[in-house]
């Protein structure tokens, strides 16, 4: 092609092809989110590797989204036939990642970095049968002073529940709640000591949290103490405290007792 003076017209530059790769990169990054947890739950790799896969997916997905946004801005005045597809998908996936993880980040910023809570900080309920199942790499079950202080500061409502029924009745009600209402895996139950040990498994990564209930006689009826601890992770995102609150609410409902505003969350 030539112009009016017979001089060949410059050939339009071919559009860059690399932005098209943003779409498959972003999709692969997004798939890392469920893959990291699913592989850990199925025992294909360790928790550390699974979390690393998850983190890598988040990072790569966000970077692809930022790059895609830059490409969209730079191409906004180009003719349609010159624009390169792919950046839009990367931006959409990055927004989806942000929406998925914003609640987790928000929770992590407002709860203490502890992995266990107990209603009795002086004489916490002990794990016996579960101790052999926790493994050498599990979080220590020792309740530290810092952990106890953090619990009291953030969860002052976590304390023993006194119920106006016999200790045996409270024990049976607690066992029913754990088995039928909360659907935890009962590891051990001792009606003589009135102690129940159970394990809760998370849906995504298959994290295991251990839960123990101890029922003792009290002049007002029965005293119920509980303890909930995560096997892995420095912080639990408030899951253990939520589990304690749910257990007490269901126990009160099972017994038919209103604990009052100062004995439940």
What is the per-residue pLDDT across 140-179, written as a single tens digit (0 to 9) for each? 999 999 999 999 999 999 999 999 999 999 999 999 999 9
Report residue 192's pLDDT band, with 50, 70 and 90 as the boundaries. very high
Instruction: List the domain boundaries for the chain.
Output: 18-110, 116-255
For residue 116, is pLDDT > 60?
yes
Report residue 83's pLDDT band, with 50, 70 and 90 as the boundaries. low
Q: Give yes or no for a contact between 208 and 262, defined as CB atoms under 8 angstroms apart.
A: no
Higher-confidence position of 73 and 12: 73
pLDDT computed for residue 179 by the predictor: 97
pLDDT computed for residue 47 by the predictor: 83
pLDDT computed for residue 20 by the predictor: 79
Q: Give yes or no for a contact between 94 and 22, defined as CB atoms under 8 angstroms apart.
A: no
Q: What share of the chain is helix, strand, coil (3-state, %, to 5)?
A: 45, 15, 40
pTM for this structure? 0.82
Report residue 97's pLDDT band, with 50, 70 and 90 as the boundaries. very high
pLDDT computed for residue 19 by the predictor: 73
Farthest-apart Cα atoms in the chain, separation:
108
- Those residues whose C-beta lies under 8 Å from the C-beta of residue 223, and which sit 6 or more positions away, are 160, 161, 162, 215, 216, 217
Provide the H-helix boundaries in the chain. Answer: 22-41, 47-74, 87-110, 131-134, 145-154, 167-176, 239-255
- Please compute the mean of the pLDDT values over residues 185-203 and round it to a whole number: 96
| Helices 87-110/47-74 angle, 10° precision | 130
Which DSSP letter does residue 8 get?
B
| Phi, psi at 235, each rounded to 5° | -120, 155
116-255: CATH, from 3.30.530.50, 3.40.50.1000, 1.10.150.300, 3.40.50.2300: 3.30.530.50
Q: 20-24, 145-149, 241-245: which has the minimum mean pLDDT?
A: 20-24
């Amino acid at each position: 092609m030539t112009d009016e003076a017979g001089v060949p017209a410059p050939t339009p530059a071919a559009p860059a092809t690399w932005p098209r790769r943003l779409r498959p990169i972003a999709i692969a990054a997004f798939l890392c989110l469920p893959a990291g947890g699913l592989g850990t739950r199925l025992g294909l790799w360790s928790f550390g590797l699974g979390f690393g896969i998850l983190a890598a997916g988040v990072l790569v997905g966000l970077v692809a989204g930022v790059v895609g946004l830059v490409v969209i801005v730079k191409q906004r005045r180009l003719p349609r036939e010159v624009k390169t597809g792919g950046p839009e998908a990367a931006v959409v996936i990055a927004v989806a990642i942000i929406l998925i993880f914003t609640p987790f980040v928000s929770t992590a910023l407002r709860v203490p970095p502890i992995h266990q809570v107990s209603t009795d900080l002086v004489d916490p309920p002990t794990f016996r049968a579960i101790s052999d199942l926790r493994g050498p790499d599990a979080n220590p079950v020792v309740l530290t002073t810092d952990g106890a202080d953090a619990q009291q500061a953030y969860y002052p409502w976590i304390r023993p529940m006194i119920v106006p029924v016999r200790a045996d009745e409270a024990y049976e009600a607690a066992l029913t709640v754990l088995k039928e209402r909360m659907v935890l895996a009962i590891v051990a139950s001792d009606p003589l000591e009135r102690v129940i040990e159970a394990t809760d498994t998370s849906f995504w990564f298959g994290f295991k949290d251990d839960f123990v209930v101890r029922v003792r006689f009290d002049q007002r009826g029965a005293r119920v103490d509980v303890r909930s601890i995560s096997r892995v992770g420095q912080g639990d995102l408030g899951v253990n405290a939520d589990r304690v609150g749910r257990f007490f609410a269901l126990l009160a409902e099972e017994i038919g007792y209103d604990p009052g505003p100062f004995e439940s969350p």
